Amino acid sequence: MIGSLLYLTASRPDILFSVCLCARFQSNPKESHLFAVKRIFKYLAYTPTLGLWYSRDSSFDLHSYSDADFGGYKVDRKSTSGSCQYLGSMLVSWFSKKQNSVALSTTEAEYIAVGSCAQILWQKQQLVDYGIYVKDVSIKCDNTSSICLAKNPVHHSRTKHIDIRYHFLREHVESGDIVLEYILTEKQVTDIFTKPLDENSFSKFRREFGLCELE
């Protein structure tokens, strides 16, 4: 059941967080986990024609959203990173992943999430192969402290325990490959990849992805 759902997340980003959460219990599932998986199937049964819409009039403006749910996974208190990349108004890639280590602050969790920017850098290079040159690719984040950490080396003394590989983000910010932008939390669409949401927020972000009835 989980394998089928993971395959489906390639075209249905709205179920990614819940499916990935259930997948963590594959080795030792309980009845409650089976009930959660069946609820996902029930949701899919009621939305069989929902799909991503790609408009031919969309621009080639490459940008990304990044977010993290600090300590949201109550089993081991690790944070969940979420990210999605847009080409104009079209959602082209997305992921939801539990972080490898326990973050000690919201800033650290958000910084690690934003640091996973290799995907958008790869997409930027791919566009060059098609003769499309994108400058100042923006990554939208709702945490000002993590943005300051990427720009100001003084903050590094407070976060020496962060793995050095995450600090390559600052190098790309300095070189102008990417630009970190602040965005209000209520406009952070990546919330759908990091935490459970109420029905109104879930429906709003689902529309932001371009998911609509394709009948």
Question: What is the per-residue pLDDT across 65-91, written as a single tens digit (0 to 9) for each?
Answer: 999 999 888 888 999 999 999 998 899
Strands (DSSP E) contained in 116-165 are 137-141
Q: Does the structure show a pLDDT above 80 at 31? A: yes
* Average pLDDT for 159-172: 67
CA 19 – CA 70 distance, rounded (Å): 19
CA 179 – CA 140 distance, rounded (Å): 9
CA 155 from centroid of its chain's CA atoms = 24
Predicted local confidence at residue 171, as pLDDT:
79
Q: Does the structure show a pLDDT above 80 at 159? A: no
CA 78 from centroid of its chain's CA atoms = 16
Q: Which two tokens stand for residue 194?
A: 């990091």
Integer-rounded Cα radius of gyration of the chain:
18
Segments of the chain assigned to CATH 3.30.420.10: 62-187
**Domain topology for 62-187:** Nucleotidyltransferase; domain 5 (3.30.420)
